[in-house]
Amino acid sequence: MAVTGFGEIAEQLRRSTVLIDAGSCGNGSGVIWTSDGIIVTNAHVARNSALSVRLWDGRELPAETMSRDPRRDLALLHINGKDLPAALPADSSQVRPGELAIAIGNPMGFVGALTTGVIHALGPLRRLGTQSWVQASVRLAPGNSGGPLADRQGRVIGINTMVADRLALAVPSNAVRQLLGAGASDGWLGVSVHPVRVPRRDGTCFGLVLLDVEPGSPAAQAALLPGDILLGADDRAFASLEDLAQAVEGSRLRVLRLEFLRGDYRQIRRVTVQLGATAGRSTIAA
C-alpha cells in the first residue's frame, strides 16, 4: 500500500515521539501532545517519581507528572519547553478495520523505531473488560509502551500499551482528550497484572497474576508479591481486568479486601489494602 509522502509523515511522527527514562522502572515512549510541553504516555511507564524525557534532537529534560489514570493506563507529563513538535490527534471513533496503522517507539533501546500494519478492530477485547482498544497488527516490544499509533496521515489514533492475542492494543486518542478535559482518578494499587485461568479442584477460575509491584505502593505495603494471583475484591470474584480497575477507582480514603493465591492454589489468602490519599499498613490472613 503506497502512501504519498510517507517518509515525511514518518519523520514528523518520530519528532513528536519521546523516550521516557523512568530509572529503575525502565524506559518507555511518549507523545508530545502540545507544543508547550504536555507529554502523553502510559501510566505503567510513568511509575517513578523521577522521570526524564529525551527529545528527538537529543535534549534531555526532567518531567513532572501532571495526572495519572491507571484504569485507562494513561499519564500526562509536563516538560519545560516551547514550540515543540506536537503530534496531530485524530478522532479515534472514526478508525475502521483495514486501514494502515503506524507505530513509533523506542523498543529494546532502538530510538524512533517504526513498524506498520493494519487496524483489526476498535472496541473491547475478550478477558480485558469493557474498555475500548484500537487493535492493530503492528509489532510492539518493551519500550514501545506510551508511543503513538497513527493513521496513514500520521495523525495519532491511540497510545500503544500492550500486546494481547497477537495484536497490539492502544488506548484510543479520544480517551486522551477525556483525560485532558476531566482529569484522572486517584485510585491506585501499584501493580501490573495479566489475566490467567487458574486450575482449581472444581475446574478453573479467572485470576490476575501480578507481574510487578511498585515499591512504596499500597500493594507493596500490603506485602503482595509478583506471582501472586488476585481472585477478587470485597467478596466479589474478578471476571475481567476491568473488575480490578473498578475496585480501586476513586480518591477517598478507604479499605479494599482482596483475595489472592500464593504458591498453593488450594489455599485462598486475604489481604486488607488501604487506598486513597494515604497508604496505610495492611494485613494478610490465610
Catalytic, out of 16, 29, 44, 243: 44
Q: What contacts 130, CB < 8 A, 6 or more positions away? A: 124, 240, 242
Catalytic, out of 145, 217, 240, 282: 145
- The pLDDT tens digits for 64-73 are 988 888 778 8
What pLDDT does 187 receive? 62
Q: What are the extents of the domains in the chain?
A: 6-78, 95-172, 191-285
What pLDDT does 281 receive? 38
- Structural element, H or E, at residue 102: strand 100-105
The fold of 191-285 is: Pdz3 Domain (2.30.42)
- Mean pLDDT per 10-residue segment, the chain (286 residues): 81 95 86 95 87 93 88 90 93 94 89 93 82 92 93 96 90 89 62 83 86 84 93 90 78 85 89 70 41
Active site residue 73: yes
In contact, 140 and 184? CB cutoff 8 Å:
no
Distance CA 149, CA 169 (A): 9
Active site residue 186: no
Rounded to a whole number of angstroms, the CA Rg of the chain reads: 19
Homologous superfamily of 6-78? Trypsin-like serine proteases (2.40.10.10)
| 6-78 and 191-285, same CATH topology | no
What pLDDT does 127 receive? 72
- The CATH class of the 95-172 domain is mainly beta
- The pLDDT tens digits for 84-136 are 999 999 999 999 999 999 999 998 878 899 999 999 999 988 777 778 999 99
Main-chain phi, psi angles of 261, to 5 degrees? -115, 145
Distance CA 102, CA 151 (A): 6
Q: Which residues pair with 52 in a beta bridge?
A: 21, 62
What pLDDT does 244 receive? 85
The grid coordinates of residue 68 equal: 495519572
**Burial class of residue 26 (count of CB atoms within 10 Å of its CB; 0-12, 13-18, 19+):** middle
What pLDDT does 186 receive? 52
Catalytic, out of 16, 29, 69, 73: 73
Active site residue 44: yes
What pLDDT does 245 receive? 77
What pLDDT does 280 receive? 40
